[in-house]
Amino acid sequence: MTYKRILLKISGEALEDKENSQIYNPAVLEKVCSTIKKVTALGVQVGMVVGGGNIWRGNLSDKIGIEQATGDYMGMLATIMNAMAVQGYFEKQGLKVRVMSALPLESCVETYVRRKAIRHLEKGNVVIFAGGVGSPFFTTDTGAALRAKEINADGIFMGKNGVDGVFDDDPRKNPDAKLLKKITYSELLAKGLKVMDNTAVGLLSGSDIDIHVFNMADTDNVLRIIQGEDIGTLISKN
């Protein structure tokens, strides 16, 4: 398939420098930036969603005794912080980037407006979608699925940490788990495989948007998939 517009979803944890206990790793930012430069050079428009797990994780709400809605808003703020960090780094490397947030924070980032986002993409800007969907109780997976549909993306590229794609069982617990090269949305739901939450899968199941799930340890996997290489797992309608 020829991709004209993609949405790249990466976790906040992927940005971490765990060795030095820092929330950002410049080497990772450099790799992601380098890959996106190569992708945009092919004429492919790129949107991004970055999780907030390097700063805030949802299960911390229970641990410190605050309600989930408050914790979810804190998570949205974490995604905005990550988007701003990525924007700042990318711009220093010569990429044109816009951050658009579903959670209004106009002194720092643009408020998400669908038509403006599409216009930014058409101009060749990388658009980072932050703030989730702007409401609690939804994951960044759902936010990524929603934005992909709204901007008419051809594909969602889901970079996983240390996992090569979708397996028939948890490869971290079962060494005999097998990599699935291709699976449909309906099969994904029927088998209960945890690639993204069911709300996100439900949003995408009737669409023509493909999902590529791959190991983000090598950021150039994004480029290789766009160029037709069979890497990771393809999730599609049929």
Q: What six digits make up the tokens of 35?
A: 């890959």
Q: What six digits make up the tokens of 204?
A: 């995408």
pLDDT tens across 166-218, in order? 999 888 889 899 999 999 999 998 888 888 888 999 999 989 999 999 999 99
Neighbouring residues of 117: CB distance < 8 A, sequence distance ≥ 6: 47, 98, 100, 127, 129, 147, 150, 151
State the average pLDDT over residues 20-45. Answer: 96
pLDDT tens across 142-161, in order? 999 999 999 999 999 999 98
Residues facing 207 on adjacent strands: none
What CATH code is carried by the domain that includes residue 70? 3.40.1160.10
Taking 80 as the threshold, does the pLDDT of residue 120 lie above it? yes
Q: Which domain holds residue 90?
A: 5-236
Helices 68-92, 26-41: inter-axial angle, 10-degree rounding? 70
In 3D, which of 85, 11, 84, 12 has the Cα closest to residue 54? 12
Predicted local confidence at residue 57, as pLDDT? 86
Alpha helices in 180-236 (DSSP H): 185-191, 198-204, 221-226
Question: CA-based angle 42:132:66, to the nearest 5?
Answer: 150
Neighbouring residues of 17: CB distance < 8 A, sequence distance ≥ 6: 23, 24, 25, 26, 27, 28
Q: What six digits make up the tokens of 218?
A: 């090598």
Residue 105 and residue 128: Cα distance in Å, rounded? 14
Taking 80 as the threshold, does the pLDDT of residue 1 lie above it? no
pLDDT tens across 43-97, in order? 999 999 999 999 998 788 889 999 999 999 999 999 999 999 999 999 999 999 9
How much of the chain, in percent, has pLDDT values that exceed 90?
Answer: 86
Q: What six digits make up the tokens of 144?
A: 């990524």
- Read off the pLDDT band of 100 (50, 70, 90): very high
Looking at every residue in the chain, the average pLDDT score rounds to 94
> How many domains is the chain built from?
1
* DSSP 3-state of 84: helix
Q: What six digits make up the tokens of 59?
A: 């299960």
Predicted local confidence at residue 68, as pLDDT? 94
**Would you tell me how many other CB atoms lie within 10 Å of the CB of residue 191?**
13
Contact 149, 204 (CB under 8 A): yes
